[in-house]
Chains A and B, each alone.
Chain A
C-alpha cells in the first residue's frame, strides 16, 4: 500500500525554444505523462545552474531532468553544447559521491517531439519511482 502511494517529485527544466515547445506539443496531442513532472521554463538549457539541480533535491525533488534543443539546433547556437559538458561532469560527480545516477538526466527534445517528450517523462518518472525517495541528497529540514 505504502509503495503505491509514493509519488516521485520530478522537476524538469525545459528550454523555451525546443523542449518547452515540445512539452506544449505533447499537450496539444494529449499525450499523457505523470502529473509528478513539473516544468520550469528557462531560455536555454545552458541557463540551468548545477545549484538549481541540487536545490531541487534539497527541497525534496526525487528526480531532475534537463531538456534542451538537439545539438546543432540551439536557438543560441551553442548553449546546449555547454550544457552537455556541464551536465556530463556534474552527473558523473554526483555518481562519484554515491548519488543514484538515475535521478538526473539530460535529454534533447525538439519542438516537434511531443511524443518524445511524453515518452521521456514517462520513462524518467518510472525510473525515479523505482528508485524510491531521494534519501542521499535530501535536507531533513525540508521534510514536511
Chain B
C-alpha cells in the first residue's frame, strides 16, 4: 500500500547516520509479526538495515518521543514523520517541548495505516504472514493454506479512514510527493451523537466509558499530553485517581483529559488506536475541535507553528456560553 519504499527511508537515514549528520534515527523497528511494529531509536546504520521497517503498520506517531529523546542526545535526531505526525510535531514546537535545531525531520507520504484488529477480524486468527499488495494485503494463517485477500480500505485505522490531511506541515526534507489537506468526514460520527437525545447520549457514553480500565494508554501515547506531572497522577491536584472506581471518575478523567488537550489536539487519533477497550476517544477530541471551528472559526492545531490556541485567545464578540446550543442547532 505505501508508495514510498522502505529502502528509500532506510538509505536516507543510513547515509545521514554514516556521515555523522545525525546522531540517531527515530523510526519504526521490526517485531515478532509483520504487524507488530515498535518505535525505536537506531544509532548505527547496521541496526537500521537489520531492523528498520516502513510498512502499513507504522501507525505510531513518533513525534512525542522527541520530547524525551532529544534531551538525551548531544547531536541531531532524525525522525520520520507521516503527514498527521507533522501536525503534532508543530504543536509540540509551539509549546516549546523540544528544540527544533536538534531534529532533522524527514517527511514520509502515507497511504493510510492498517488496523491489526480489523485485519484479524477479516483474515482470522493465527496469522503467519502478511504480504502488502497494491490494493491491500494477502494474509496467510496457520489454519488455511490459501492466503486471504483483504482490501486495504477495509482495514484502515479509524484515524486513517478519516484522514484530515496528507500534507506535511513541517519537515526538513520530504521523501516522495506532497499530498493535500483533505475534506474528511471526521465530524460525521460526532454529529450523529449530537443528534441523539440527551438520554441517548448519556447511555451511549456510559456504555463506552464503562469499559475504561484507566490504563492511561490514551494519555501516555498522546502527543499533547506531555506534562511533567499529570494532574491525574498528582495527589495534590484534587483530581488524582488511579482506577475508574465509579462512573463519575470515568467521566472526570475523560472530560478533563479532553479539555486539557482542547485546542491543542491535532486529531492524530492515537488515543483511539491504542485503547485496549476500543473506546472511541477521538470523538471527545473531535467534539472540541468541531465546537471550536463552529464557535470561533476554523482552527487546526499544529497546522502552523506558533499559532495561538483557541483557549488562550478570545475576541470581544465571542459566543456566549448560553448561546452554545443555539449555535449548534444551526
Contacts and interface: CB of A to CB of B under 8 A. Distances in A.
The short answer to whether A and B are in direct contact, CB under 8 Å, is yes
Interface of A: 50-51, 54-55, 57-58, 71-72, 78, 81-82, 84-101, 105-106, 136-141
B248 A137 contact: yes
Contact of A89 (B239, B311, B314): B311
Contacts of A71: 316, 318
Contact of B202 (A58, A89, A93, A99): A99
A50 B258 CA distance: 11
Given A82-B314, A85-B313, 5 more contacts: A51-B239, A72-B316, A81-B316, A105-B321, A106-B321
B287 to A, nearest CB: 5
Interface in B57-108: none
B322 A97 contact: no
B248 A58 contact: yes
A97 B202 contact: yes
Interface stretch (B29-37, B211-219, B288-296): B288-296
21 contacts: A51-B237, A55-B238, A58-B248, A58-B252, A81-B315, A84-B314, A84-B319, A85-B295, A91-B321, A92-B287, A92-B291, A93-B284, A93-B291, A96-B284, A98-B203, A98-B204, A98-B206, A137-B251, A139-B249, A140-B248, A141-B246
A84 B318 CA distance: 8
Nearest to A55: B238
A85 to B, nearest CB: 6
B252 A92 contact: no
Given A50-B256, A89-B288, A139-B248, A78 B231 contact: no
If over half of A's interface residues share one DSSP class (helix, strand or loop), that class is named, otherwise mixed; here it is helix
B259 A89 contact: yes
Contact of A138 (B205, B238, B248): B248
Contacts of A136: 202
Nearest to B206: A98
A97 B231 CA distance: 22
A54 B259 CA distance: 12
A96 B262 CA distance: 15
Contacts of A97: 201-202, 205, 251, 255
Given A138-B248, A139-B248, A88 B256 contact: no
Nearest to A52: B238
A137 B237 CA distance: 20
B198 interface: yes
B193 interface: yes
B200 interface: yes
B316 A54 contact: no
A51 B198 CA distance: 22
Given A71-B316, A85-B296, A88-B295, A96 B324 contact: no
Given A82-B311, A82-B314, A91 B231 contact: no
Contacts of A81: 314-316, 318
A91 B251 contact: no
Contacts of B202: 97-99, 136
A88 B238 contact: no
Contact of B231 (A51, A86, A87, A99): A51
Contacts of A87: 321
A49 to B, nearest CB: 9
B288 A84 contact: no
A84 B316 contact: no
A22 to B, nearest CB: 18
A106 B322 contact: yes
